[in-house]
Structure formats: structure tokens, C-alpha cells
Amino acid sequence: MPKYYEDKEEDGRPCGGVREDLRQCLLESPCVLQENKSPKQCLREGYCKSLQVTFFACKRSMVSVYSVFSSAAGR
């Protein structure tokens, strides 16, 4: 089960739980801890790829929802 379900306050931002899990994954990765690279650099190198894909899919679904509302409002 994702960590964001365990005793955390509600983020309020879209995809906030997945964002937090991705952030934690990167901060706890060997890339950051042992190689002293930035989380952004580690993300580019492919660390936490599954969470990155999940976060992207979540954000993309939000864009799709917003575009539906925008299209309906313009009619």
C-alpha cells in the first residue's frame, strides 16, 4: 500500500499522495544517499520510474478533466 495512506494529513493538491511517495522514494534512493546527486538528477537517471509514471498519469488525467470543462464552458 502506498505510504501516503498511512497517518498523513490530506495534501489538497491533485495527485498529492503520489507526489509525496515519489519525493520520498527519490530522497531515500542510493542515488541521493550514496552518490550525493540531486533528486532531479536521479529522476532523470531512472530511479523511482514506476512512481514517476504513476504521477505523470495522474497529472495527465487532471489535464483531461480540465479540458472537458473548458470545452463545455466555451459552448
pLDDT of 43-70, one tens digit each? 999 999 999 999 999 988 877 666 656 6
Domains contained in the chain, number: 1
Predicted local confidence at residue 19, as pLDDT: 93
Predicted local confidence at residue 32, as pLDDT: 96
**Domain presence at residue 45:** yes
Closest CA to 47 of 33, 35, 66, 29: 29
**Domain presence at residue 72:** no
For 25-47, the DSSP string reads HHHTSHHHHTT---HHHHHHTTT
CB 31 within 8 A of CB 49: no
**Domain presence at residue 10:** no
**Domain presence at residue 5:** no
Its domain, for residue 46, covers 16-60
Residue 6, number of CB atoms within 10 A of its CB: 7
Predicted local confidence at residue 52, as pLDDT: 95
24-28 CB contacts, 8 Å cutoff, 24+ apart: 25/51
pTM of the predicted structure, to 2 decimals:
0.70
**Domain presence at residue 36:** yes
pLDDT band at 1 (very low <50, low <70, confident <90, very high): very low
**Domain presence at residue 2:** no
Predicted local confidence at residue 73, as pLDDT: 59
**Domain presence at residue 8:** no
**Domain presence at residue 6:** no
